[in-house]
Amino acid sequence: MKKVALITGITGQDGSYLAELLLEKGYIVHGIKRRSSLFNTNRIDHLYQDPHDPDQRLKLHYGDLTDAMNLTRIIQECQPDEIYNLGAMSHVAVSFDTPEYVGNVDGLGTLRILEAVRILGLEKKTRIYQASTSELYGGMPENKNEKGFYDESSPFYPRSPYGVAKIYGFWITKNYREAYNMYACNGILFNHESPRRGETFVTRKITRAVAKIALGLQEKVFLGNLEAKRDWGHAKDYVRMMWMILQADKPEDWVIATGVTTTVREFVRLAFSEVGIEVAFKGEGVDEKAYVVACNHKDFQVEIGKEVLSVDPTYFRPTEVDLLIGDPSKAKNQLGWVPEHDLASLVKDMMKGDVLLMRKDVDLLKAGHEILKQAE
């Protein structure tokens, strides 16, 4: 019989890549999506065919992590072999504006899934993956291991409502594993990006803006702390590790990271480089700006000396996490997980996608001008 998986947050970046992976492996995949007045399935539309087709292995359900009864009903109907809880309000900066909502979804939402599995008597059948986060560590330098990294034994010190909510999700998952002998694991994911990343996250904000600047659709981009350092990986590598975690002999907690850190400033430089634009940074702190010093791409013409980036203090967080870098040694040594993408290939992939996306806007503008000319 085919394995059955249930994914919360299936319409998000990670959920869409994980659904692809599991379908390739022959799973029947159920996904939970929130009801919206707008279509929000664009990341999985290529996977979802005719819902009336008896061979359709992707099935979607309306649900919400704040609704325990609904979650219990879906789990009872699906009888999943594996549950991947990827649903969350995952924007760190926004969590300061919606702390109660984040606690309800990211913290108690995890409890609702664990408790549903328990009361349905699926403890021995269903394996659970909880998407945890590097924000648990809070970037506290004294909590790193002897190599200067954060690993599975590093103490937690969350610095945002998002991190605090996720720390509840981490510990309640561990508690249910120990109290009820459930196969429940935490994957402590460091930053992972892709062309499917949400548009409000800093990496995608950068690649979209750089593509627009190169195509003449935007003058410059405003960012916050350029000194912030992150351990950025590709979402495709990370969802593969999620699956590997639930195939392990025993349930444990795992760090998923690349072990390489990069500043926001360097990410900006790499993004511009992908479209043949070289930038130089001048000034410090809130006065730092980036200017074009060379443009070497035949398809893009950006004025030399043009200011293309400014720092906006409104993007600073009340409590900033300056450095996050993970130690994936356990994942590599015990499960054989090795990332297939480095930062350069990640930025290339994201820029390729956003240049293609923004070219469509250019084509639409040209078509609109042509229609107006013909109407005159």
Last residue of a domain, one of 163, 189, 215: 189
Q: Which of 8, 11, 133, 173 is catalytic?
A: 133
Under 8 Å between Cβ of 110 and 151: no
One domain, residues 103 and 10: yes
> What pLDDT score does 207 carry?
97
> What pLDDT score does 143 carry?
78
One domain, residues 315 and 375: yes
Determine, yes or no, domain membership for 249: no
Element housing 32 (H / E): strand 28-33
How crowded is residue 274: how many other Cβ atoms within 10 Å of its Cβ? 21
One domain, residues 129 and 14: yes
- The per-type count for the chain, helices as H runs and strands as E runs, is 11, 15
Residue 317 binned pLDDT confidence (cut-offs 50, 70, 90): confident
One domain, residues 60 and 170: yes
One domain, residues 175 and 294: no
One domain, residues 347 and 199: yes
Last residue of a domain, one of 189, 224, 246: 189
The one-letter code for the residue type at 134 is S
Give the range among 30-39, 48-57, 258-267 with minimum mean pLDDT. 48-57
**Whole-prediction pTM:** 0.89
Above pLDDT 70, what percent of the chain? 92
> What pLDDT score does 46 carry?
82
Q: Please determine, for residue 38, whether its predicted confidence score (pLDDT) is greater than 90.
A: no
Determine, yes or no, domain membership for 336: no
Q: Please determine, for residue 74, whether its predicted confidence score (pLDDT) is greater than 90.
A: yes
Last residue of a domain, one of 162, 189, 216: 189
**Tokens describing residue 3:** 């394995």
One domain, residues 32 and 99: yes
Say how many domains are in the chain.
2
Determine, yes or no, domain membership for 102: yes
- Domain span at residue 355 reads 195-232+260-323+342-376
Determine, yes or no, domain membership for 247: no
Determine, yes or no, domain membership for 328: no
**Tokens describing residue 122:** 């699926």
Determine, yes or no, domain membership for 252: no
> What pLDDT score does 51 carry?
62
Give the range among 89-93, 104-108, 242-246, 343-347 with minimum mean pLDDT. 89-93
> What pLDDT score does 368 carry?
60
CATH of the domain at 347: 3.90.25.10
- What does the DSSP 8-state code read for residue 85? E
One domain, residues 226 and 159: no
Determine, yes or no, domain membership for 164: yes
- List, for residues 142-156, the tens digit of each pLDDT value: 878 878 899 999 999
One domain, residues 289 and 228: yes
One domain, residues 185 and 199: no
Q: Is 72 a catalytic residue?
A: no
Q: Is 135 a catalytic residue?
A: yes
- List, for residues 167-213, the tens digit of each pLDDT value: 999 999 999 999 999 999 999 999 999 999 999 899 999 999 999 99
Determine, yes or no, domain membership for 306: yes
Give the range among 46-60, 70-84, 279-293 with minimum mean pLDDT. 46-60
The rounded distance, in Å, linking the Cα atoms of 329 and 335 is: 10
Q: Please determine, for residue 54, whether its predicted confidence score (pLDDT) is greater than 70.
A: no
Mean pLDDT, residues 69-93: 95
In 3-state terms the chain splits into helix, strand, coil percentages (rounded to 5) of: 40, 20, 40
Residue 36 binned pLDDT confidence (cut-offs 50, 70, 90): low
**150-180 b/e with 16+ CB inside 10 Å = b?**
bbbebebebbbbbbbbbbbbbbbbbebbeee
CATH of the domain at 8: 3.40.50.720
Closest CA to 173 of 121, 89, 117, 119: 117
- What does the DSSP 8-state code read for residue 224? S
Q: Which of 135, 207, 258, 262 is catalytic?
A: 135
One domain, residues 184 and 60: yes
One domain, residues 175 and 203: no
Residue 304 binned pLDDT confidence (cut-offs 50, 70, 90): very high
Q: Which of 17, 150, 162, 238 is catalytic?
A: 162
Paired with 32 in beta bridges are: 8, 61
